[in-house]
Each structure stands twice: as structure tokens, then as C-alpha cells.
Amino acid sequence: MPNLTKKIIKTHLCEGNLNAQEPIAIKIDQTLTQDATGTMAYLQLEAMGVDQAKTELSVSYVDHNTLQSGFENADDHKYLQTVAEKHGILFSRPGNGICHQVHLERFAKPGKTLLGSDSHTPTAGGIGCLAIGAGGLDVACAMAGRPFHLRTPKVIGIELKNKLRQGVSSKDIILKILQLLSVKGGVGSVIEYFGDGVSSLSVPQRATITNMGAELGATSSLFPSDEKTRSFLKQQGRETDFIELKADEDATYDQVITIDLEELEPMIALPHSPDHVVTVKEVEGMKIDQVCIGSCTNSSYHDLVSVGNILKGKTVHQDVSLTISPGSRQIFKELSQNGTLTDMIMAGARILECTCGPCIGMGQSPISNAVSLRTFNRNFYGRSGTLSAKVCLVSPETAAYSALCGELRSPLGLSYEIPVEPAMIKTDDNMFIFPKAAQEAAMVEVVRGPNIRPLPINAPLADTIDKKVMIKVEDNITTDHIAPAGAKVLPYRSNIEKISTFVFMNNKADFHDCCIANGGGYIIAGENYGQGSSREHAALAPMYLGIKAVIAKSFARIHKANLINFGILPLTFTSAQDYDLIDEMDELLIEHVCDIYPGGKLTVYNKSKQKSFMVSYDLSDLDIKTLKAGGTLNLIRQEQ
């Protein structure tokens, strides 16, 4: 009988059948963007000639690029505000909060589909919404009324039993799952939670778990909609949005994992991967230099009041810098009214904006060689802005207690008051700019600063690719490696010419110059290439530099889709040993490229080594049509 994932997909199915890994298309009810990816998404929407967004709801958030060290970010925000007014999109002003936290509070609904231009969009799965992260172009297509194409996912069932002990957090649940499954264990799957332990978790606690499902490589993560869901929606003044949703009693899953919450203990992800997980007890006593609490993963009322209760009446260790980022203005207001904010400030915490901030390298880079404990979702190399830093991921409780001690400490059994969620919160939506009537919207003038450049246009797929290897990289290369985040890079997200100069800057400093000198070429990669953020710049900037194909052992889902969207061939080694026989600057020849078909293979001739090898490609008919056109926008133009 059907699980919850299949139930929601079935009610939104536009094309295809729910057979494992077959191409399907689903209707999208809601979309969200954020300012690091949103400018490109709306430039793409404009290029499609769409007057008004055709979804039930589309929201544009500003939460990433909020350090105004120059005109670029401010100009982007003005563009986003005016383009939203022009196209019937709700706009969340800077300071209103992080997209995932705010969307969970104000807009996400059980049983709906949500597509977001951010890989952590599945946060809304905590409320029973099928939420999927994607590249900005896919989101633009959804706003234009087009269905979202994907493969029918496998469904991995996670059975939760019993209840968490004091000092153990929902963050520890997802870290345990990452330890069991790894950063590629969820690729091609939705992670669905069930069992008696589910009822002990609030919606924000569930959202912490679904948020970090992105680190598993999962398409989405999903909890049922039950009485805890009703309570959360009632708290937000949205009880009418509640519907009960759950899997059938005899639902089947492709794989089932059981976790006894009562036996779980505090966990930590060590550098430099979210799945490098051990128990806190195994490395307890490690000296720390920085603690950062917040982000879309752990900035709910429960998380931050727990932190405040641990800090109350105490002082942060003299060798530790502690920062706290509330997830939304709503949460910030609650902290200020119930005294928690005072407790944090008096303990020595530095209170930051309601934004992503340090999670994406926007400020608060730690000292050289630091150990930084963070309640965030990623600890990739260099993401903090300090290349020598050792970033670890922990729960808010572990982070707060360790900040007081100056070293890593387990909060298991620690005495502190457990927060009680308020039954009602006085909501305040005055930092939203709601859509205008279509006639009034048509009169809006979109403001474009000088940093907002036209979209680069790709050429149709060539039948012969005779190019050199521009770079060879190892397993688990992230989009942070390809298109770095941080305060130096993010302001150029709407300027592909400029941002292309940063591509692979920490892997091969002259990558940009090498591509320009050789007219682009190939990227050779290991397993799980392109994991992490949904940022399409990791495909768009390489396309601008002339990259024609990526040959990898395997791909992360969103990045592979982004490569196709921008006309870059994603090819897979049929034999892993062939990867070892290629060096940078080898010249590779592929002929008869335009003859590709679903399930086919291509021969690659290494002219430098005078050897041939085979590659495969897992592409649908639509993927192939898109690639031949030179990308999705080219295909849309052809069809108009």
C-alpha cells in the first residue's frame, strides 16, 4: 500500500507513471527563492516572457547576501523587490528571516508541493509538504506554470521509536542518519519518517531533520501531518491549513532503518563532511575557538530558548567567540519578549541578523586553525571563509554547553529548563510586500543595477567535442568547490562574467585562465560530483567558460539537472578504472554526440594517451532534447 510520498506525488502527477526511477513530471503549488539564487531565477523568468507567476504562491526571500559592503547586494535586493512586484510574487524584505524558517512558519502546507532554488527547501517536509530543492531555472519554469521533471524516487523509511533524552536533540537524529547512510545515501530517494517516536517531535524539530536530508543527497524528506502539525499551524494562526496526512498502515518502503531515540546520544560531524559523524563522547574535551548557533537548521523557538536556558546566569568561556542568528523576525521578537535575548546577551553572545550569515561564509570567519562548532548543516572545506579552520556540526545544546566550557562537552544529562512552545504566537506579516493586482503590477518598473548582467546564451550541442581536460577532481566535490560562497563571491551572483573568475579557485587557481586560453573543455570528477547547494552558478559559470561535458563516476541530483539545464553533457564512467587513466590537459575526443539516446553510450578517445574508453549517460528524452538545444532556455525559445 502507498507511503505518504507516493500519495502526494500521485495527486500532483502530470506525466509518467510511478515506476521506480522512471521520468515523471509533477505540478508545483508553491515556489521560493532566495537572493543568492533569486536574481538569476527572475532574469530567467523574464526571458520566458511570463507576465504573472502561475503558482498558488511564489515567495522571494532576502536572507543570504545581506552584508552591504558595496552597491552590488543592495542593487540586487532592489531588483528582486521590483521584479517581484512586476510578476505577482510575494517579497520578504531583508531582516524578515531565513527563507526556510519563515516559509515553514507562514506558508508551507501539508500535502502541497514546494520547489525552491535552495537545496534546503525540504525543510518544509517537517510540516508534511513535499518540498524539493532545485536550480533557479527549474524554479523559474515552475513559476511559468510548467511542471517539474524528475525521476520517480525510491522511498527510504526511517522508523523512529520512543523519545529523546534530555540533552539529545533532533539534530542528533539526522547526524546519526548521515553516519548510517553517508552524503550520497539518499540520492534518488525521498526519506520518509514514521513510527511512535514521530509524535514526540514538534514541527520545528522535524524540520531540522528534513532540512539536513539535503546532506544525504535526498530529493526530499517528509514527516506525516498529525496533531503536532495542527498545533504548530494553530500557533501560527493557520489552523485552517491543516489536513491529516500519513502513510497507510501497511505502507511499503524500498529500505527501512529503525532508530531508537531513547538510545541516541549527542553526535558531532567532524571536518570536512556532514557524514564524518561520531558521538560527542568519543572526542569530548577538544578545545574550541568559536561557536555559531542558528541557520535554517537550528534557529527555531525550541532551539534558541534551549540555548538561552543553558547560558542563563553564566558567561561564555574567554577563549570562545559565540554568535547567535535567530531564524526569523518572529522568533527574534519572542526571544526579546520572554527574556531569552537578555540571557544570551548577558552571557556574552554576539547577536546577528535573522539571516544565513556565517553558514554561507557571510561574516564571522573564525581565526586561523580554529575549531568552530556550528549548528549549521554543512562543514565543507573553506565554507567558513577560513581555509585552515576545522568546522564541526553539533546540536544547539551541545554548542551552548561547549561555549561555556571552552571545549567540546556532551549535554547529555545536563540540567536546564526544557522550553514549552507557546500555544499561540502573535504573528506580524508587515515585512512582506504582497503581490499587486495584475493591472497595477504591469505599471511597475523593474530596477536593474550595473552588476545585473544579461544571461549568457549557450550554443546548441556540437556533434564533435575535441577539447582538453581543464581540471580533474576527486570524490564528493561540492558546489562550494565549483562556485564558492562567501562575502567576496556572493555579491556577483547576477554577474556570470565576474563570478566565472572564482570557479574552482581553491582547487585550481588558474582554472578560469586555463578555460579562456583553451576555449573551455572537460571536467573529470569522482563520485557524487556537485553535492551540496543547489546554486546553478556551479553549472552556469562553467558553461560560460566553455565547459562542454563533465565525466564523473556519479553525480548529485540537483547539479546534474543544472548541467542539463545549461547544455553541459553529464557523462558517467562505465568503468571506475578509466578515471585513473586521465590527467589534466589530456585531449579528449567524442564524436557523434548528437546521436545520443536514452540508455546509450559514447566512446571517448584520449588523444594524449591514445586510448579509448566508454561513458554512459542516464538521460530522458526531455534531457536529450534540452541538451541538443543548448539548454532549457534555448528549448523554450524554440517552442514559443
Burial 149-181 (b: 16+ CB within 10 A, else e): bbbbbbbbbbbbeeebeebbbbbbbbbbbbbeb
Q: How far apart are CA 378 and CA 174, in angstroms?
A: 13
- Side by side, the strands of the sheet bearing 23-26 are 13-15, 23-26, 148-151
Residue 360: what pLDDT?
83
Residue 340: what pLDDT?
97
Task: For 11-49, write each residue's pLDDT tens digit.
Answer: 999 999 998 889 999 999 999 999 988 999 999 999 999
Residue 236: what pLDDT?
97
Q: Going from the N-terminus, what domains does the chain have, and what CATH number goes with each? A: 4-263 (3.30.499.10), 267-405 (3.30.499.10), 465-639 (3.20.19.10)
Q: What is the dihedral of CA 42, 44, 48, 53, to 10 degrees?
A: -30
Residue 582: what pLDDT?
97
Q: How far apart are CA 359 and CA 629, in angstroms?
A: 37
Nearest to 494 by CA among 78, 61, 35: 35
Residue 557: what pLDDT?
93
Q: How far apart are CA 110 and CA 128, in angstroms?
A: 4
Amino acid of residue 46: E
Residue 23: what pLDDT?
94
Q: What is the DSSP string of 556-625?
A: -HHHHHHHHHTT-EEEEESSTHHHHT--TT-EEEE--GGG--TT-EEEEEETTTTEEEEEE----HHHHH
Average pLDDT over the chain, rounded to whole? 95
Nearest to 244 by CA among 229, 257, 255, 234: 229
Phi and psi at residue 603, in whole multiples of 5°? -100, 130
Residue 453: what pLDDT?
86
Residue 62: what pLDDT?
95
| 8 Å CB contact between 467 and 518 | yes
Q: How far apart are CA 361 and CA 383, in angstroms?
A: 6
Residue 380: what pLDDT?
86
Nearest to 211 by CA among 20, 359, 24, 323: 359
| Sign of the dihedral through C-alpha 183, 184, 185, 186 | positive
| 8 Å CB contact between 374 and 385 | no
Residues of the chain with pLDDT under 70: none
